[in-house]
Each structure stands twice: as structure tokens, then as C-alpha cells.
Amino acid sequence: MLFSLLRAAAAGAIVVLLCNCSGPGRYPLSGQVVSADDPVQDLQAGNFIVTEASF
């Protein structure tokens, strides 16, 4: 149990470090440049509903 907890914590730390290395104006992990006409900017969190089936 302790080993799996440590492994999960290490994996989480790696993801956080990779996301923080992207720099401003870039997407985390992929490093793609964010543009002004990016369709992702039109998304709103209020329109997103998580259902139990999505897990």
C-alpha cells in the first residue's frame, strides 16, 4: 500500500513538473503555441458536466 502511494505521488510530481515547464503562451505537455483564434478559449467550465459514466 505504501509503495503504490509513493508511486502515485511520484507520477503526480512528474506531471506537475512537465506542466510547469511549458512556459507562457504554450500548452502544457505538448508545447504547442497558443493562438488568439484558438477554439479552446471559447469553452466555459459551466458547460461541462461530468457523469459517472465518464470515469
Per residue in 3-54, pLDDT (tens digit) is 888 999 999 888 877 766 667 778 776 778 888 888 777 777 666 666 776 5
**What pLDDT, on the 0 to 100 scale, is given for residue 55?**
53
What is the rounded distance in angstroms from the CA atom of residue 55 to the CA atom of residue 51? 8
**What pLDDT, on the 0 to 100 scale, is given for residue 47?**
63
Q: How far is CA 25 from each of CA 20, 30, 41, rounded to the nearest angstrom?
A: 12, 12, 13
**What pLDDT, on the 0 to 100 scale, is given for residue 22?**
67
What DSSP character marks residue 32? P
Q: Cβ(33)–Cβ(26) under 8 Å?
A: yes
